[in-house]
Amino acid sequence: MSDLAVVAVLYSLFCLRPKTAAAFMKYIYLGVFFLFLCVVQLSGQAESIRQDSFSFIFMTDIHVQPERGAYKGFQRAVEMINERDADFVMTGGDLVYDVLRGNFERSDSLFRMYKSIVSKLNKPIYHCIGNHELFGIYEESDIDATHPDYKYGMFERHLGKTYYSFDHKGWHFIVLNSIEEKDQHYIGLIDSTQLDWLKEDLAQLAPSTPVAVALHIPLVSSFRQVYPILPDTAASQGRYIQNRAEVLQLLRDHNLKLILQGHMHWVEDINVQGQFRVITGGAIAGRPSWRRKDDQGDGRYYNEEGFMHIYVNGDNIDWKYIDIGWDAQDE
């Protein structure tokens, strides 16, 4: 209702005096109509606020496996997620541990274990691929590229596309595949086919649409500054997105607000020039693969086993890291 219309109605209600019974009834009807319009307008404003406010779960680096009680820890996480008031769940990759070395029976059973546990969720879930979901790419693998499940095949058969997008309450969410194979190892890369898809996906958005991106290997991280830089090997190339500058520029040409990532097994929150946030989401598995202590001996710090509860209110983003209260068990 326009300001002019409000003034006209208020003038009629408070400045004019009905002189007949019929005029008085019209006066009453006008007052009721005015109240109705006020309720409609306030309801619309409340709905707008509600649409801009929501929360969701981000859980990454689950590494589910039958060993070390990992599946029990993951079950505990799902139970805790079900108790929380959130709209949906997103993952950040490394859902299972591990299919890189082949062994079809073992690998397929890990995906089935993962699906069995997440089927207990009472919220929608959106899956993201991590390096441990690339089937049989390592040199010691007992399968090769001729196998129908090779590389992304097993993930796609069990969980669907490795990159896609969806919308929720005015936000546009993009899930990327940040893993590529090179010399029988994994590296961080968004390939050209996916970049073309990303350009088309973003081109359909209104300029004001807030964008959130989830992927496994980090686009932006302080990890390499906090810990010694590894030699430039295939292994070290799997710690970051090699063409990250190109990907970031493409995203920043739009209303990028949030990047969610995993892989590092620690919690990190970076505010980039007040324009967008980069959150690394810890790990359901805590230390790599539910190990009780850091057996790499390099002094790296890992957060406790847990997941992120992300809160969105307009352009404001907040989070809480939820410790699942579960530790890896002895074998």
Q: Which two tokens stand for residue 291?
A: 């190990």
Taken as a whole, the chain contains a residue count of 331
- Give the pLDDT score at 227: 73
Look up the pTM and report it.
Answer: 0.83
Q: What is the pLDDT of residues 159-208, one digit of tens each?
A: 999 999 999 999 999 999 999 999 999 999 999 999 999 999 999 999 99
Q: Other C-beta atoms within 10 Å of 42: how many?
A: 10
β-bridge partners, 268:
280
Pick the more confident residue, 291 or 59: 59
The residue-averaged pLDDT of 124-133 equals 99
DSSP reduced 3-state for 110: helix
Residue 12, pLDDT > 70, answer no
Q: What is the pLDDT of residues 107-118, one digit of tens each?
A: 999 999 999 999
Q: What average pLDDT does the chain have?
A: 86
Whether residue 286 contacts residue 329, with contact meaning beta carbons closer than 8 Å, is answered with: no
* Dist CA 71 CA 213 (whole Å): 27
* Dist CA 292 CA 168 (whole Å): 38
Res. 303 pLDDT band, cuts 50 70 90: confident
Res. 17 pLDDT band, cuts 50 70 90: low
Res. 3 pLDDT band, cuts 50 70 90: low
Q: What is the pLDDT of residues 146-158, one digit of tens each?
A: 999 999 999 999 9
* Dist CA 59 CA 48 (whole Å): 28
- Give the pLDDT score at 76: 97
* Dist CA 257 CA 213 (whole Å): 9
Phi, psi values for residue 291, rounded to 5°: -75, 140
- Give the pLDDT score at 226: 82
Handedness of CA 69, 73, 76, 78 (dihedral sign): negative
Residue ranges covered by each domain of the chain: 3-46, 54-323
* The architecture CATH gives domain 54-323: 4-Layer Sandwich (3.60)
Q: Which two tokens stand for residue 244?
A: 């990250």
- Residues near 268 by beta carbon (within 8 Å), at least 6 away in sequence: 221, 222, 223, 278, 279, 280
